[in-house]
């Protein structure tokens, strides 16, 4: 629920969905389009119980953990098979490949394209691929009359569409469009459930709607939710290892933790992924056991919104395909009831904590002191508007590198890359690399844009084209860059305590409404809350800003006044303490916090010139001073202010300027804020446009 999602998906399968009949596993498919030889393999020792996707292929496994058998052979490079589902009569297997829907016999024979539902306006992963759509989840209705599938944006946004079709691929209907990542699940032969964070939308096969179903507080993170025939609900993540919840709507409890949980046909067992394994647990939380090790098969699929494994690292297992498990309908689960119980260490039935004390209505905020920072120092000479400039704020030196672009710094802060000699702007130029300690430069060939992927790789846009290349700084070898997929979620943040702060956006602008979760190092949920922004504020504390509330109509430039409240949240108790109300206009510039201070802009982009406010956590004193917008803290505790990457460093103790760089155009800083760069670049339009 990243991209946008911290987003995470959540999976649930109902008993009624999984009344599927199975045939014995046959021989592995030779290729995505080639029927394998007809000579059968020896019959398996037991009926297959589970089908799952791993390593780009689809496998079947017997419930007690036999060797997985290949149903659909594939790979993650060109023939990625995922999302298996079986017809209720047990004769047909459907799955996704290439974001289309494919069909095979239940034992994996005769794979063929059933329905080309993908609409790829650009290759998946290119910058415009958020306009490309493809199938990512498939499930058969209990009576077998229709198939529901999710057709979602392949890159760049959380827009998803719920469609149905006949089993032969005809009569496709778009029943529902969601503004966030979601997944369809059949409630019965006529109704489909689509979870929208805190409630379930119920869509009928003819496109009409039933009343929404509110989810209980402990299950308001589910993005796929379906009741079983006895009125229980199973809710869990299909993005990353999270609590697996089961029970009635008047109270659910955690019975395990993992990914993509799904109910057995008899409603007694739950299969799920735990990292690179498949496990099974009873619905009462007992007899949890290992079923299959996926590491030798290439590991489970990972939805690209998963953090931190899929973004920005983009592992081979990452894609816009959620991991998927399906039960065979006649799976014999009786042996599981007498098997030796194995309780994994990741289970924790501790009640999930809600943050208390947050409110969004603006409150009066007392300013204890108003200060002027005085004239800005002129640490460096004015910029000529065309040269690449490097500033060493520690040594107080500046280096003019000649006509060129804004410099970009490596993650370790030791090097800078820029494009030199472009005449005119964004034409051909030379990729230049500087070693900051020695000022030694290297010429790396032609290009018109370059940035660091990591400390050892550059991503370069080649001259006279939009082709992207990766350059290895150790070997200087160039190769085509893989598609640059844009995640709909924000990167996870590790707190000083080692916990993970995760964000999932679930509403559109003007102000993003996000679901936030604080997870312990094992991935279990500690806190959850809805807010606009949140950030660690030292050990055991979070700083939280509520979703801004608009006040009045837009002005002639489309700007609207707004206000948001800022809180400190104690992690141990979940209690929020009010700090102050921040006033501003759309667009909104947020806030930042560390173990000593909270800083935020006040009244920028409005009728006044705006200020910055600083809250001292030791004294509870609020000081207001004049400074540029977008304040935030450097790793050393200085305040950096200014458009986008900032141009001024301020000491919060003395409220004096430490240094400034010329403010024309955009800027960039090294991670430690010692070095800064400006250069010829397509500048943004300003703070308030």
So what's the pLDDT on residue 217? Answer: 78
In this prediction, residue 556 has a pLDDT band, given cuts at 50, 70 and 90, of low
Answer whether residue 551 shows pLDDT above 80.
Answer: no
pLDDT digits (tens, 9 = 90+) for 591-610: 999 999 999 988 776 545 67
Residues 6+ apart with CB under 8 A from 159: 130, 152, 153, 177, 178, 179
Answer whether residue 665 shows pLDDT above 60.
Answer: yes
Answer whether residue 24 shows pLDDT above 70.
Answer: no
Q: Which among 23, 233, 20 is positioned nearest to 143, based on CA atoms?
A: 20
pLDDT digits (tens, 9 = 90+) for 565-582: 999 998 888 889 999 999
Answer yes or no: are the C-beta atoms of 450 and 458 closer than 8 Å: yes
Name all domains of the chain by residue range, CATH numbers in brackets. 50-350 (2.120.10.30), 369-373+499-669 (no CATH)
Answer whether residue 99 shows pLDDT above 80.
Answer: yes
pLDDT digits (tens, 9 = 90+) for 109-122: 999 999 998 887 65
Answer yes or no: are the C-beta atoms of 641 and 630 closer than 8 Å: yes
So what's the pLDDT on residue 581? Answer: 92
Answer whether residue 19 shows pLDDT above 70.
Answer: no
In this prediction, residue 248 has a pLDDT band, given cuts at 50, 70 and 90, of very high
So what's the pLDDT on residue 628? Answer: 66
Distance CA 478, CA 260 (A): 39
Q: Position of tokens 């250069």?
A: 679
pLDDT digits (tens, 9 = 90+) for 124-149: 444 434 567 888 889 999 999 999 99
Upstream peptide bond of 424 is cis (omega within 30 degrees of 0): yes
Token duo for residue 191: 């109704």
Mean residue pLDDT of the chain comes to 81
pLDDT digits (tens, 9 = 90+) for 177-228: 876 667 788 999 999 988 876 788 899 999 999 999 888 877 777 678 888 8
Q: Could you tell me the pTM of the whole model? A: 0.56
Residues 6+ apart with CB under 8 A from 537: 543, 568, 593, 594, 595, 598, 617
Distance CA 409, CA 382 (A): 22
So what's the pLDDT on residue 548? Answer: 87
- DSSP per-residue string spanning 138-198: EEE-TTSS-EEEEEEESSS---EEEEEE-TTS-S-EEEEEESS---EEESSSSEEEEE-SS
In this prediction, residue 349 has a pLDDT band, given cuts at 50, 70 and 90, of very low
Q: Position of tokens 């009359």?
A: 145
Residues 6+ apart with CB under 8 A from 476: 444
Answer whether residue 345 shows pLDDT above 60.
Answer: no
Q: Between 678 and 217, whose confidence is greater?
A: 678
Residues 6+ apart with CB under 8 A from 424: none
Q: Between 151 and 633, whose confidence is greater?
A: 633
Answer whether residue 537 shows pLDDT above 90.
Answer: yes
Give the percent of the chain with pLDDT over 70. Answer: 79
Answer yes or no: are the C-beta atoms of 52 and 322 closer than 8 Å: no
Averaged pLDDT for residues 259-268: 88
Answer whether residue 175 shows pLDDT above 80.
Answer: yes
In this prediction, residue 678 has a pLDDT band, given cuts at 50, 70 and 90, of very high
Burial class from Cβ neighbours inside 10 Å (0-12, 13-18, 19+) for residue 471 reads buried
Answer whether residue 360 shows pLDDT above 50.
Answer: yes
Distance CA 186, CA 148 (A): 8
pLDDT digits (tens, 9 = 90+) for 64-76: 767 899 999 999 9
Answer yes or no: are the C-beta atoms of 108 and 28 closer than 8 Å: yes
In this prediction, residue 534 has a pLDDT band, given cuts at 50, 70 and 90, of very high
Answer whether residue 337 shows pLDDT above 80.
Answer: no
So what's the pLDDT on residue 449? Answer: 86
In this prediction, residue 12 has a pLDDT band, given cuts at 50, 70 and 90, of very low
Averaged pLDDT for residues 481-496: 68
So what's the pLDDT on residue 21? Answer: 30
């Amino acid at each position: 629920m990243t991209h946008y999602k911290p987003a995470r998906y959540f999976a649930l399968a109902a008993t009624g969905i999984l009344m599927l009949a199975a045939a014995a596993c046959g021989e592995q498919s030779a290729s995505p389009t080639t029927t394998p030889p007809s000579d059968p393999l020896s019959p398996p020792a037991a009926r297959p119980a589970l089908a799952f996707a791993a390593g780009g292929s689809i496998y079947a496994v017997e419930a007690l953990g036999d060797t997985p058998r290949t149903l659909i052979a594939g790979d993650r490079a060109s023939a990625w098979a995922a999302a298996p589902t079986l017809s209720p009569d047990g004769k047909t297997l459907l799955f996704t490949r290439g974001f289309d829907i494919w069909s095979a016999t239940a034992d994996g024979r005769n794979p063929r394209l059933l329905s080309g539902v993908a609409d790829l306006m650009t290759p998946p992963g290119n910058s415009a691929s958020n306009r490309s759509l493809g199938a990512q989840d498939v499930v058969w209705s209990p009576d077998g009359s229709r198939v529901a599938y999710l057709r979602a944006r392949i890159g760049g946004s959380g827009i998803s569409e719920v469609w149905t079709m006949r089993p032969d691929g005809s009569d496709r209907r778009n029943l529902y469009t969601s503004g966030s990542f979601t997944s369809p699940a059949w409630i019965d032969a006529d109704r489909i459930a689509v979870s929208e964070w805190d409630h379930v939308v119920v869509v009928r096969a003819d496109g009409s709607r039933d009343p929404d179903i509110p989810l209980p507080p402990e299950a308001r993170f589910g993005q796929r939710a379906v009741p079983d025939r006895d009125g229980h609900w199973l809710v869990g993540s299909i993005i990353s290892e999270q609590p697996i919840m089961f029970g009635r709507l008047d109270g659910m409890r955690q019975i395990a933790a993992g990914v993509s949980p799904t109910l057995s046909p008899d409603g007694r067992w739950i299969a799920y992924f735990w990292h690179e394994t498949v496990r099974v647990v009873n619905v009462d939380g007992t007899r949890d056991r290992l079923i299959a090790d996926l590491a030798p098969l290439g590991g489970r699929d990972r939805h690209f919104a998963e953090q931190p494994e899929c973004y920005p690292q983009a592992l081979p297992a990452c894609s816009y395909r959620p991991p998927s498990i399906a039960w065979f309908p006649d799976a014999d689960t009786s042996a599981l009831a007498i098997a030796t119980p194995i309780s994994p260490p990741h289970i924790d039935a501790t009640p999930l904590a809600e943050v208390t004390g947050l409110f969004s209505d603006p409150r009066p905020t007392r300013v204890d002191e108003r200060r002027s920072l005085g004239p800005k120092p002129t640490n460096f000479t004015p910029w000529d508007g065309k040269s690449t400039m490097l500033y060493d704020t520690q040594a107080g030196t500046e280096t003019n590198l000649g006509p060129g672009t804004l410099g970009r710094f490596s993650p370790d802060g030791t090097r800078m890359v820029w494009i030199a000699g472009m005449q005119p702007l964004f034409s051909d130029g030379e990729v230049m690399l500087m070693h900051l300690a020695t000022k030694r430069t290297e010429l790396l060939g032609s290009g018109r844009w370059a940035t660091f992927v990591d400390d050892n790789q550059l991503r370069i846009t080649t001259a006279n084209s939009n082709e992207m290349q990766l350059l290895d700084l150790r070997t200087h070898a160039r190769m085509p860059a893989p598609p640059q997929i844009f995640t709909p979620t924000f990167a996870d943040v590790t707190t000083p305590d080692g916990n993970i702060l995760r964000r999932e956006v679930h509403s559109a602008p003007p102000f993003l409404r996000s679901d936030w979760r604080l997870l312990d190092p094992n991935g279990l949920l500690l806190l959850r809350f809805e807010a606009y922004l949140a950030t660690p504020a030292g050990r055991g504390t979070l700083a939280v800003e509520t979703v801004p509330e608009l006040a009045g109509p837009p002005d002639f430039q489309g700007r609207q006044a707004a206000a948001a409240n800022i809180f400190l949240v104690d992690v141990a108790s979940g209690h929020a303490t009010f700090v102050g109300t921040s006033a501003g206009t759309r667009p909104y510039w947020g806030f930042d916090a560390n173990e000593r201070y909270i800083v935020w802009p006040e009244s920028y982009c409005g009728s006044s010139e705006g200020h910055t406010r600083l809250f001292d956590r030791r004294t509870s004193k609020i000081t207001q001073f004049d400074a540029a917008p977008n304040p935030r803290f450097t790793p050393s505790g200085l305040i950096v202010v200014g458009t986008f990457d900032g141009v001024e460093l301020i000491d919060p103790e003395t409220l004096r300027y430490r240094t400034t760089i010329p403010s024309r155009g955009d800027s960039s800083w090294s991670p430690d804020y010692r070095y800064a760069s400006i250069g010829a670049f397509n500048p943004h339009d300003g703070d308030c446009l």
